[in-house]
Each structure stands twice: as C-alpha cells, then as structure tokens.
C-alpha cells in the first residue's frame, strides 16, 4: 500500500510503517507499505528523514502546499501537531494555528479519498473540554466518507521502554469492506519475563557517562530542593520500569518539571539528563537510525516522533486485516449502496 506521510518529522511513524528493523534484539519485519510522499516544515527533521529513507521528504508548510501535487496513495498518515491539545494548560486556545492543522488532513482526505488513514495525537485531545473538541475532530474526519475508530495506547504495552500515552485514530473508507480491530498488547505491567514491560535499564549502557554536559549542576540541585512541595521535583526514573514520557524540549530539561531524569548517585545528589542516543532508544528507534543537526535539534526530533515499534504494531494489524478482507471479497470493494455507519467507535 502506498503511503503519504504528513507532519512526518524525522520519520518515526514512517519507520514503523515500512518495518525492516531490529530493536532490543527483536525483529520488526518489513511490512507491505511504500512511502511515496512525506512532508514536514522542520528543516532539520527533513534532513534526518532524508538521511534514513529512500524517498526524500518535502520541506514545506502543509497549509501552503498544493494537495494536487501529492501522488496517489492508499494510506494517509499524520501525527498532527499536539501542543494546542495539551491538558497542562487547559485555558489555552485549542484551535490556534497549530490546532487547526488536523483540518488540512481532512481536506486531503476529501480530495484524495485514500482507502485508509492513521492519525495520532496526545491523550489530552480525547479529554479536552469534556471531549467536545475530540468529537469535532472525529466528525470532521468521518464526514469525508470514513468509518472512524480510535484508541488510547500506552507505548509500554507494545514493547517500548516508555509510558507514552497517545490516541490513534483509524479511518476506513466507507465503501471498503473492513471492520478494523486494534492490535492486542504484547507486553504487560504485570506480565512474565517474556511479556512484561521493558525496563529503562535495557536502553541505558552506563548510568555514569563521561561527558559532563549531561549532568545537572549543584546550583540546579539546590534549586530543586528549595522548590515548592507541590512542584514536580527531580523525577528520577526507576531503571526497572519504562521511562515517563519524554518530550521535544529534552535539551532544556529541568529538575523542577515533569521531565524524567536519571539519579546517578543518591548520596552525592548527582542527577543527569538523557543523551540523544538514550532518548532515541526510549522512543524505540534502532541505533542505526541517524539524527542530523545539533543535540538540541535531535532531542526535538526524537521527542516529537511516534515510537516506531508502536507504529509497527498498528500498521501490521492494518495490513493483515486489509489482506484478509481483500481475499474475502475477491479483491473488490463494497458497492456504493452498501450500508455503513458514519460514526466513531471507541475501543
């Protein structure tokens, strides 16, 4: 299936779609997807994308790009910008310029009518303003002629060493004979050795790196100790469990924030941030994936990405079920008069 990737970033979602990589000793086989078009407005992310994929991404603003220039495709993929839908600042206007970008995806669906689409966003989108905003997003997608399903995923449940919760929205064109079912979790918080959550220790080679730039100063530690008790302070991670969600501002991680950090030496009160390599591993990128630009740019690209391993499981479920349905109907889609409900189905 041919894929058009919007808001492609450095390519986390796209790597998961095409597969063909290893992570923590496990193979994620190649999947029958071909990226035929990718677009993002971050120059450094596009540089990284183009280093790692055969089809180069286009550097452009999706609002200005001519949809007619996008080649034909079967699947539209897009992790549309999520900052406007965060629950951290509930008074913020959710439909600022970035918050409206999902409508551009909707416009592409309207004009190109691919068989399927996959959209991703923060968990907060589902809950914001009592779910009214999410309902509007879902109705907009469905109005383009799609049966829509959604589910909030925790990446840790699928072999990613990170407790990252995101909502995935799957659209199946109404004339396509397909009742999509999301993949079942492969890992569990209370599982056995074979299927339990992946601990952070599996992606940290050494708790004490030699480079001093990753360590917090004594001044920063003292500032943390003086902070108000109701503030998040020094969120040192348990190496036996998955990491808390990492974000795009890892280069500016503070000890007085929600950002996860590592406690290197409790007695010496020695804390540090993650290296770019560690952050990439926490997001389930294989070590062979190259990030271009400065550390700050790499952190931003990594934090904004969709974990490839999580995306692989969703993409794999889609292609398996699509193949079965295609065989069941002899390769034909349902006739236009076939009844389909134009509603969203939470799972």
SS3 content of the chain, % helix, strand, coil (to 5): 35, 20, 45
Taking the CB of residue 172, how many other CB atoms lie within 10 A of it?
22
pLDDT computed for residue 98 by the predictor: 52
Choosing from 4, 82, 138, 305, which is the catalytic residue? 82
CA distance 137 to 133: 6
Report the CATH number that the domain containing residue 224 is assigned in CATH. Answer: 3.90.120.10
- In this prediction, residue 89 carries a pLDDT of 53
Least confident of 102-106, 210-214, 302-306, 322-326: 322-326
Count of Cβ atoms closer than 10 Å to residue 60 Cβ = 14
* Full residue range of the structural domain in which residue 113 is found: 2-191+305-346
Number of H helices, E strands in the chain: 9, 15
Residues 42 and 178 in one domain: yes
Q: Do 235 and 285 belong together in one domain?
A: yes
Q: What is the 3-state secondary structure (H, E, C) of 226-294?
A: HCCCCCCCCEECCCCCCEECCCCCHHHCCCCCCCEEEEEECCCCEEECCCHHHHHHHCCCCCCCCCCCC
Window from 23-32, 63-72, 315-324, 325-334 with minimum mean pLDDT: 325-334
Per-residue pLDDT at 128: 87
Question: CB atoms < 10 A from the CB of 327, how many?
Answer: 9
Burial level of 320, CB count in 10 A (0-12/13-18/19+)?
A: middle
Q: Judge if 310 and 297 occupy the same domain.
A: no
pLDDT at 92: 54
Domain shared by 279 and 311, yes or no? no
Question: What does the pLDDT read at residue 232?
Answer: 60
The structure's pTM equals 0.91
Condensed to tens digits (0 to 9), the pLDDT of residues 8-28 reads 999 999 999 999 999 999 999
Cβ–Cβ < 8 Å for 210, 129? no
More confident residue, 202 or 83: 202
Residue entry with tokens 């923590």: 24
- In this prediction, residue 184 has a pLDDT band, given cuts at 50, 70 and 90, of very high
Based on the fold, state whether residues 117 and 159 are members of the same structural domain: yes
CATH number at residue 116: 3.40.50.150
Say what the pLDDT of residue 226 is: 85
Q: Could you tell me if 325 and 273 lie in one domain?
A: no
| 258/178 same-domain check | no
Report the pLDDT value the prediction gives residue 161, as an integer from 0 to 100: 98
Mean pLDDT of 244-262: 90
Is there a single domain that holds both residue 279 and residue 315? no
- Cα–Cα distance for residue pair 214/152, rounded to 1 Å: 33
Two structure tokens written together for 224: 């943390």
pLDDT (tens digit per residue) in 127-151: 988 999 899 999 999 999 999 999 9
Together in a domain, 146 and 95: yes
Strands (E), the chain: 2-6, 21-23, 26-28, 34-40, 58-59, 75-78, 116-122, 146-154, 162-163, 165-173, 235-236, 243-244, 260-265, 270-272, 344-346
CB-neighbour burial class of residue 173 (10 A; exposed 0-12, middle 13-18, buried 19+): buried
145: alpha, beta or left, given left = phi > 0 and alpha = psi -120 to 50?
Answer: left
Same domain, residue pair 183 and 207: no
> For residue 201, is pLDDT > 50?
yes
> What confidence score (pLDDT) does residue 22 get?
98
Say if residue 11 is in the same domain as residue 118.
yes
Tokens at 225, concatenated:
């100790």
pLDDT at 331 over 60: no
Q: How many domains does the chain have?
A: 2
Q: Angle between the 132-142 and 102-112 helix axes, to the nearest 10 degrees?
A: 20
Q: Does residue 187 contact residue 195 with C-beta atoms inside 8 Å?
A: yes
Supply the mean pLDDT for the chain.
89
DSSP state of 145: T
Burial (CB count <10 Å: 0-12, 13-18, 19+), residue 134 = buried
Please check whether residues 181 and 248 belong to one and the same domain.
no
Q: Does residue 191 sit in helix, strand or coil?
A: coil
82 catalytic residue (yes or no)? yes
Q: Using the predicted structure, report yes or no on whether residue 208 has a pLDDT greater than 70.
A: yes
Average pLDDT over residues 328-345: 48
């Amino acid at each position: 299936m041919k894929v058009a990737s919007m808001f492609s970033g450095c390519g986390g979602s796209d790597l998961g779609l095409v597969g063909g990589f290893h992570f923590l000793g496990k193979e994620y086989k190649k999947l029958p997807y071909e990226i035929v078009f990718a677009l993002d407005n971050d120059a450094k992310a596009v540089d990284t994308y183009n280093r790692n994929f055969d089809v180069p991404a286009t550097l452009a603003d999706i609002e200005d790009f001519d949809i007619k220039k996008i080649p034909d495709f079967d699947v539209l993929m897009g992790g549309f910008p999520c900052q406007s839908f965060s629950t951290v600042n509930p008074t913020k206007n959710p439909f600022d310029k970035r918050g409206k970008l999902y409508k551009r995806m909707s416009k592409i669906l309207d004009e190109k009518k691919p068989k399927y689409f996959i959209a991703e966003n923060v968990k907060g989108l589902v809950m914001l303003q009592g779910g009214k905003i999410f309902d509007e997003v879902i109705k907009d997608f469905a109005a383009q002629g799609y049966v829509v399903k959604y589910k909030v995923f925790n990446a840790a449940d699928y072999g990613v060493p990170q407790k990252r919760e995101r909502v995935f929205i799957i659209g199946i064109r109404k004339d396509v004979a397909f009742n999509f079912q999301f993949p079942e979790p492969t890992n569990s918080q209370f599982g056995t050795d074979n299927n339990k959550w992946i601990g952070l220790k599996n992606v940290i080679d050494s708790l004490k790196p030699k480079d001093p730039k990753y360590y917090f100063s004594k001044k920063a530690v003292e500032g943390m100790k003086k902070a108000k008790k109701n503030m998040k302070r020094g969120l040192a991670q348990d190496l036996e469990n998955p990491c808390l969600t990492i974000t795009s501002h890892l280069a500016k991680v503070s000890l007085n924030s929600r950002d996860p950090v590592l406690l290197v030496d409790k007695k010496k009160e020695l804390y540090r941030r993650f290296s770019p390599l560690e952050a990439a591993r926490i997001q389930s990128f294989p070590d062979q994936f190259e990030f271009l630009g400065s550390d700050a740019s790499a952190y931003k690209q990594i934090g904004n990405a969709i974990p490839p391993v999580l995306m692989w499981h969703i993409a794999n479920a889609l292609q398996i079920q699509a193949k079965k349905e295609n065989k069941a109907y002899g390769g034909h889609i349902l006739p236009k008069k076939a009844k389909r409900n134009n509603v969203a189905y939470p799972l």
